[in-house]
Amino acid sequence: MSIAIVWFRRDLRLHDNPALTHAVQAGHHILPLYIHAPHEEGEWTLGAASRWWLHHSLAAFKQQLQQQLVPFAILTSHDSLSTLQNVIQQTGAVAVYWNRCYEPLLRQRDQQIKTHLRSQGIQVYSTNGFLLNEPWEVETQQHTPFKVFTPYWRACQNRPPAEPLPIPSPLLAAPITELAQAVNLEQLELPPRIPWAGGLTQTWTVGETGAWALLDQLCGDKLHDYHERRDFPSSDGISRLSPYLRFGEVSPRQLYHAVQQCMAHNPECRKGGESFLRQLYWREFAWHLLYHFPHTTNQPLNAKYQAYPWATDYDAVLSAWQQGQTGYPIVDAGMRELWHTGWMHNRVRMIVASLLTKNAQIPWQLGAQWFWDTLVDADLANNSLGWQWVAGCGADAAPYYRIFNPYTQSEKFDPQGQYLRRWLPELATLDNRSIHNPSAAQLADLDYPAPMIDYKSSREAALMGYEQIKGKA
């Protein structure tokens, strides 16, 4: 009998898990591990909302494995390599399997671990369980990385992903009862100490089964008009699958093929399905960019934006933005949704990010940090791409400087004010017209602030800032 460690990271699922499948197919008895080594992620160690998610995700996965009679060991570590070496020594494991991570620091770490273990005669097998394409597989005709989405997406059309894998069978557990560094999940102290996560608990069913339920809903009654409803934050027309993808409770391949199947059986789902798959490829594009331009977590892809004249005295505005107290209803609704649920609708993410970076001229990195801490789907590639796209300094084909008008966006995408009323109860009595931009007379009777920033003059200031750097190389 040979034992193989299956090292779980961003892939807390049994279905379509290539590392797990390969270990089983090679005939090994498996030893599934999770190693908690947060400092190895550098400044991008998990934020508070993601820690909450991870706690529940590990609990759900442990239970799933238990149902298969396979124990799941959780270990804490200062150094994943020595922890793996230690486990190998204790158990006599001959191989280690994992699905790749693509964060710059984790890639380096994994490479070092692979080299060390192989030099000690241990088989190491790493594969892709997180993306539809490896970031290096898609390239321009000049063999360079893409920097604009649409040509990237077109290039991906010729590369349909393989079918997802079933749960491998038989799943035979290595006969190991206890590992020296194993801990209880509680000992990781992942959930917040202050009682802040009530809204997260109400909102989410974490784990693979939660992901399948949302996927069923998507293919059941959302896909046929996804393209029409996806921009309206009160309509629930989107999948809400982003945190499940982030933690690997569902794979993009599973989504891709479920949607393709739905389109094949229901022609009325074609437009919605294509629109959904396009969004899924934005995620792919984000990881393609981060792989090729690892500095873009902190620095603009478009280097001339290094010289942008950002505001320096912004503490009060930043804090009001974080707390949903800017006086712009659509922005405050979004920021409160984020605080309460750990998630925000994509349209509203763009509006709140535009107000912060364009009107308040606060560096996009500060917005990205707040999202990193408060989003349950905080994803290094998607978050960096999203913030840079809105700030105008990232991958964007638009030849103009886009500034979202929070009033007209609100009127267009929440015409009945349902989303605003849900998150801003203090404005609930206002009519559908004035709720987007209450007058001074209306505000006098309401416990809601006047806008902190004047929209018109701040827009002009942002355009002037842009003029200063426009001609720069």
Residue ranges that bind ligand FAD, judged by CB under 6 A: 230, 238-242, 245-246, 279-280, 282-283, 286, 346, 349-350, 353, 371, 375, 377-379, 382-383, 386-387, 390
126 with 99: CB under 8 angstroms?
yes
Q: How far is the CB of 282 from ligand FAD (least distance, A)?
A: 4
Peptide bond into 18 cis (omega under 30): no
In angstroms, how far is CA 166 from the centroid of its own chain? Answer: 25
Concatenated DSSP letters of 24-40: HHTTPEEEEEEEE-GGG
Q: How far is the CB of 470 from ligand FAD (least distance, A)?
A: 23
Query: Closer CB to ligand FAD, residue 33 or residue 351?
Result: 351
Q: How far is the CB of 468 from ligand FAD (least distance, A)?
A: 24
| Token reading at 357 | 């970076």
Q: Which long-range contacts (CB under 8 A, 24 or more apart) does 313-321 make?
A: 314/360, 314/361, 314/362, 314/366, 316/452, 317/360, 317/362, 317/452, 317/453, 318/356, 318/360, 318/362, 318/366, 320/449, 320/452, 321/352, 321/355, 321/356, 321/360, 321/362, 321/367
Distances (CA, A) of 251 to 131, 274, 323, 338, 381: 8, 18, 33, 24, 16
φ, ψ dihedrals at 123, nearest 5°: -75, 135
Q: How far is the CB of 391 from ligand FAD (least distance, A)?
A: 9
Query: Closer CB to ligand FAD, residue 28 or residue 358?
Result: 358
Residue nearest to ligand FAD (CB): 386
Query: Closer CB to ligand FAD, residue 9 or residue 62?
Result: 9
Q: How far is the CB of 44 from ligand FAD (least distance, A)?
A: 11
Query: Closer CB to ligand FAD, residue 103 or residue 379?
Result: 379
Query: Closer CB to ligand FAD, residue 70 or residue 344?
Result: 344
Query: Closer CB to ligand FAD, residue 24 or residue 375?
Result: 375
Helices and strands counted in the chain (H then E): 20, 5
35 with 98: CB under 8 angstroms?
no
Q: How far is the CB of 165 from ligand FAD (least distance, A)?
A: 20
Query: Closer CB to ligand FAD, residue 32 or residue 47?
Result: 47
Q: How far is the CB of 396 from ligand FAD (least distance, A)?
A: 12
| Token reading at 204 | 């989410």
Amino acid at 115: T
Amino acid at 443: L
Query: Closer CB to ligand FAD, residue 353 or residue 403?
Result: 353
Q: How far is the CB of 316 from ligand FAD (least distance, A)?
A: 22
199 with 340: CB under 8 angstroms?
yes
Read off the DSSP letter of residue 222. Answer: I
